[in-house]
Structures are given as C-alpha cells and as structure tokens.
Amino acid sequence: MCVGGCKQPVVVENDHLTVMETVEDVSKKKNEDEFDGSDNLHLSDVGWAHLFDVHCHLSLEPASQAVIPMLKVAGVWLMAMQEHDWSNIQAWASANPAGIVPAYGIHPWCAHTTTADAFDLLRARLIESPFAFVGEIGLDGVATYPDSDIKYEMNKQLAVYTAQLNLAAELSRPVSIHAVSCFGKLESIFQNLLQDVPKDLSRRQKDKLKKDNEPVPTLAELAAHPALRKWPPAIMLHSYSGSSESIQRILRYPSVVASRFYFSFSYFVNSRIPFDRLKEKICLIPDDQILIESDHVDATRVDRACLRALDLVARAKGWSLEETALKTGANALRFISKLSVR
C-alpha cells in the first residue's frame, strides 16, 4: 500500500492498527473517477488468463474474499500490513490456493507496533508456508502517525525493514517493497549488500580470459556466489515512485543482482504524476522486469484497476494491451517461480 505524500487514514482498534481505506479523503474523488468508465477501456479489451494483480490488500476488507473467485485476473497476491493480518491471509490462501498467493510482513506504517517476538513469528509463519513470500515491507519518509503531523520514526522503520529483508534472503523468498521519499536510504542498504557481489566482466576481460585459456564464469556460476545469499531471489518495488535516476542506478548493479529487481505500477498511485514523467521511468525498465498491480482493498475494483495499470504501461512502452498483459503476466510468473514449490 503506497499513497505517496498523502496521510493514510488509520485508526487503532483493539490494540491493532487497522487500515481503513487505501485513499485519503482528498483522493476519494479521483478514486471514484477511476471506476466511472469514462476512460473508454473495457474489460473485454484484453485476455485475462495471464494477468496477475501482484500487490493488493484485499484481506483488509472481509467482503473481498467472496469476490476473488469471480475476478477476471488470473490471481491476486495478498500483502500483509502487520502481524495481525497473517492468519487471515493464510486462511484465504488455503481456501483458494489457485487464485491467491500470500505474503507476510510488517509494513513501515506498522513498524512501531512490532512486538519483540514478531520476527521469530514471521520466520515460523514463512517456514510453515513455503508458498508465501515477504511483504509488504519497506520505508516511508512522509507518512505520519494517525491524526498527527509527526512522521513515523525512521530508525524503527529501518530496523524492521532490514530484519525482514535479511529474513527473506535467508529463507530465499521474494519480497514486495514499499518505498516513499526514502530511496537514498533504500539504495544505501542495497549498496552495502553489493559488497563482494561479483561484478560483470567487460568484453576485454572476457577476451583476456579466453586468450589465456581460462574459463569465463557463466551467469549460473556467478549467481551461486556466496555474496548473493544476502539477497532475496526477487525484489518488487511496488507502485514504483522513485526517480528515473534510481532506476538507472539499480539497473547498473551487477547483472546477477539487477536482474532480481522488478518494478510494479498501479494506476492508483502512478497516475498521480504527469504521464510524460511516468513514461520516462517505464521506458528505462527492461521489458522482462515490469509488473502491474491494483494496490486496493476492495476486490470489486481489482479488475478495472489492473486494466488501468496495464493501459499506463502499454501507452508508455508502445505496446498493445494484449501484448502488455502477456509480458507482465510472464514476468509475474517468473517472479513467483522463485518460490521453491512454484
């Protein structure tokens, strides 16, 4: 869940942080417009068999469970906000294993509610659920405590985020990352993890190895390097709101790491900036590293939200809707294939 610079409306009920909506009051008008059909897009415009909503929060709305089997998308990936959500998500996924991929984690908005044993419980939950990945985790530089202008404490967010990122790497689970106004901190963590990761060889270096009758390391051999154990096998930057420069820096990481990054886009978040700026970002991303999502709570809105996200990517890349569905769908399957049993 990612709302850029808007305050998220949250309340505390029964000692649990509950996210009431995915939009603030000031965004409601736009959210209604998103679904009024005025965009001339129709659900019949695209084949849905390969299309996945790779990031949503449907378990926060109990009525969504009955709607999910009727959705056109091939599957939804349910993100947790906090420990309180995990059992519910697991129950929904167990009841609909073909349509739901679960993710367990602690959102940066909920980092301050983390209990002392939360990470042990998360580890146990993930081990119990080898088909689950880690999410939603991350950092948020603008979100504030409910009914306050005080931002969530960044040091606490960093501690909770780092612990979960390390756990995802240890258990070899993909992650979905929320990052708002904090890409400097996020990239700093990535840079630290890059230490000892084997760099790509230049053509000159490869030629010299061949000339000296030395073997040129294969991509598989590089990927087996011990330094890669510090990295999750796949990393989704969801509703990507970073800069074009951040994309370029990440893609310049050694290929064994850069290839693990996926950039996901939602209409809900990413349509807030001028399309030309969004297009610039999307066009920098390799075709096989783009995903689409709804980032919604209400399942009745998922199909249309995904169609709108699909349209954003299609227009930016110059693809048809169907081509975009096929490409992003294949990317989603590749991302989730990093789970050992999928």
Worst-scoring range by mean pLDDT, 43-57, 86-100, 199-213, 328-342? Answer: 199-213
**In degrees rounded to 5, what are phi and psi of residue 47?**
-80, 135
Q: Mean pLDDT across the stretch 147-151?
A: 89
As a whole number of angstroms, the distance between CA 327 and CA 50 comes to 9
Report yes or no: 181 and 140 within 8 Å, Cβ to Cβ: yes
Enumerate the β-bridge partners of residue 293: 266
Predicted confidence at residue 205, as pLDDT, reads: 63
Band of the pLDDT at 201, cuts 50, 70, 90? Answer: low
Other Cβ atoms within 10 Å of 11 Cβ, number: 11
pLDDT at 181 over 70: yes
Q: What is the pLDDT of residue 159?
A: 96
Task: Report the mean per-residue pLDDT for the chain.
Answer: 86
Percent of the chain at pLDDT > 70 equals 83
31 has a pLDDT exceeding 90: no
Q: Choose among 170, 176, 184, 290: nearest CA to 228.
A: 170
Instruction: Categorize the per-residue pLDDT at 211 as very low, low, confident or very high, splitting at 50, 70 and 90.
Output: low
When pLDDT is averaged across residues 40-50 and rounded to a whole number, the result is 89
In this predicted structure, what is the pLDDT of residue 268? 93
Which residues partner with 75 through β-bridges? 52
Top-confidence range, 5-14, 210-219, 274-283: 274-283
pLDDT score of 220: 73
Select from 229, 252, 312 the least CA-distant residue to 277.
312
**pLDDT in the model for residue 213:** 62
Residue 291: the pLDDT is 99
Domain boundaries, the chain: 44-336
Residues making up the chain, counted from first to last = 342
Q: What is the pTM of this model?
A: 0.87
Phi-psi region of 43 (alpha: psi -120 to 50; beta: other; left: phi over 0): alpha
pLDDT beyond 50 at 6: no
**Does the structure show a pLDDT above 70 at 4?**
no
Sheet (strand 52-56) strand order: 52-56, 75-78, 100-104, 133-140, 175-180, 235-237, 261-266, 290-293
Q: Give me the pLDDT at residue 39, please.
A: 73
Residue 20 has pLDDT above 50, yes or no: no
Residue with tokens 């929060």: 57
Q: What is the pLDDT of residue 198?
A: 85
Which tens digit of pLDDT belongs to each residue from 286-324? Answer: 999 999 999 999 999 999 999 999 999 999 999 999 999
Asked if 135 and 339 count as a contact pair (C-beta separation under 8 A), the reply is no
Q: Write out the H or E segment, with its range, that includes residue 341.
A: none
* pLDDT confidence band for 136 (50 / 70 / 90): very high
Q: Is the pLDDT of residue 171 over 50?
A: yes
Decide if pLDDT at 103 tops 50.
yes
Predicted confidence at residue 7, as pLDDT, reads 38
CA gap 180, 7 in Å, rounded: 12
Confidence check: pLDDT of 169 > 90 = yes
Question: According to the model, what pLDDT value does residue 27 have?
Answer: 34
Give the pLDDT score at 153.
93
Give the mean model confidence (pLDDT) for residues 239-259.
96
Write the class of the CATH domain 44-336.
alpha beta
Q: What is the pLDDT of residue 116?
A: 86
Residue 166 CA to residue 169 CA, distance in Å, equals: 5
